[in-house]
Amino acid sequence: MRLLVTGGAGFIGANFVHSTVRDRPNVAVTVLDALTYAGSRESLAPVADDVRLVEGDITDAALVDTLVAESDAVVHFAAETHVDNALADPEPFLRSNVIGTFTVLEAVRRNDVRLHHVSTDEVYGDLPLDAKDRFTAETRYNPSSPYSSTKAAADLLVRSWVRSYGVRATISNCSNNYGPYQHVEKFIPRQITNVLTGRRPKLYGSGANVRDWIHVDDHNRAVWRVLTDGGLGRTYLIGADGERSNLAVMRAVLRLMDRDPDDFDHVTDRAGHDLRYAIDPSALRDELGWAPEHTEFDLGLAATIAWYRDNESWWGPMKDTAEAAYQEWGR
Ligand code: NAD
Ligand code: DAU
């Protein structure tokens, strides 16, 4: 199989490329990535000899068409992904997430190539903190932020290209990922690298907000299950029953790094901050037989902390810039 992976130099995409190269020797991987601030060649260094990396933009229709025409399938990860950046400047999110997905869709339509579109649980908005219900594929779209609304728009484009043009596509909406190669702007890597650089960890508001954590390798195994055996036109929710409050995650990071669990600052909350995300993954489990392998959050978190300790050369160069933005925002 010739597989085109957009955004393969970012966090989830790079982990996807690593595991694909390791586990699927019959797959020839091409990565298309604009190498924005969030993507880096270094994330693909361990597999540099095994994949083709094309530096380019998913809004470049001629380039995307050429690469799609050479492929049997596309896994589309490329996007602007950080909610705080979207609040500060939404324009790149419209361009990459909406126009970029449109460009990919037109290319797979012209060339009749299978597409898997990677999306997020944030398209469903949030749930009350005290409720027991979870998101399913039937939950109404209700995005809160410029990030999630552009991802929702992209999902709707995919659905309509399936219905109107018969494009062979699937969608997955996953919860919060953690693991190696995640940008230090995101919650878990930010706290780990704050400790490692002598800064104080930062918790938005009270920390009562709940996220449903999944290890990035479990997400990527689910993407492969959907790409291989998912029903065309279907949406699959990916989650690993990993609901935790931000305060609990913060304390776990500090405990695993031998710090006092209260050794952090409360900072100004994010505007429009979603309260709780929770995924019901039963369709994926029951129909496609997927189950998470990283079921002990503390073990996955400890391994992630060890990875950041051992790979300062990867994250060091981006840390000061990320913290300068947070300082400007008062977070
Ligand atoms: P990331 O920000 O770490 O990486 C995004 C990658 O896309 C980067 O390599 C960047 O250079 C590339 N990119 C951005 N705009 C581009 C463009 N116009 N053209 C080409 N490349 C471009 O993101 P991530 O966390 O790895 O997320 C990957 C995908 O998974 C996204 O679609 C995101 O919405 C989705 N997702 C993420 C999570 C999560 O917890 N991180 C959860 C669910 C879904
Ligand atoms: O749910 C999936 C989504 O998860 C993905 O679609 C997004 O691309 C990804 O960024 C992530 O979005 P979140 O906004 O949930 O992730 P983030 O890491 O920015 O923040 C996680 C939670 O932690 C959120 O409630 C805000 C809080 N937070 C974040 C940072 C950076 C803090 O309390 N302190 C921080 O320093």
32-46 residues labelled b (16+ CB within 10 A) or e (exposed): bbbebebbbebbbee
Average pLDDT, the chain: 98
pLDDT band at 12 (very low <50, low <70, confident <90, very high): very high
Residues 30-38, mean pLDDT to the nearest whole number:
99
Q: Is 9 in the pocket of ligand 1 (CB under 6 A)?
A: yes
**Looking at ligand 2, which atom is closest to the CA of residue 246?**
23
CATH homologous superfamily of 2-183+214-241+276-294: NAD(P)-binding Rossmann-like Domain (3.40.50.720)
Nearest residue (CA) to ligand 1, atom 28: 77
Between the CA of 201 and the centroid of ligand 2 the distance, in Å, is 14
Position 66 confidence tier, pLDDT thresholds 50, 70, 90:
very high
More confident residue, 189 or 132: 189
For the segment 92-149, what is each residue's pLDDT rounded down to a tens digit?
Answer: 999 999 999 999 999 999 999 999 999 999 999 999 999 899 999 999 999 999 999 9
Residue 190: both structure tokens together: 């930010």
Ligand 2 atom closest to Cα of residue 207:
33
Which of 11, 18, 173 to probe ligand 1 with, by most ligand atoms within 8 A of CB?
A: 11
Is the CB of 38 within 6 Å of ligand 2?
no
The answer to whether 121 is a known catalytic residue is yes
End-to-end CA distance of the chain: 45
Report the 10 Å Cβ neighbour count for 291: 13
Instruction: Report, as an integer, the average pLDDT of 240-245.
Output: 98
The per-residue pLDDT for 304 is: 99
| Mean pLDDT computed over 230-245 | 98
DSSP SS3 for 246: helix
Mean pLDDT across the stretch 27-44? Answer: 98
pLDDT in tens, 274-286: 999 999 999 999 9
Q: Catalytic: 185?
A: no
33 lines ligand 1 (CB under 6 A): yes
* 287 given a catalytic annotation: no
| Dihedral sign, Cα of residue 134, residue 138, residue 142, residue 147 | positive
Residue with tokens 């990527």: 220
Give the pLDDT of residue 17.
99
Mean pLDDT of 265-293: 97
Give yes or no for residue 199 CB within 6 A of ligand 2.
Answer: no
The pTM score is 0.99
Which of 51, 81, 102 has the most ligand 1 atoms within 8 A of CB, as the residue to mutate?
81
Give me the pLDDT at residue 259, please. Answer: 98
Tell me if 246 CB under 6 Å of ligand 2: yes
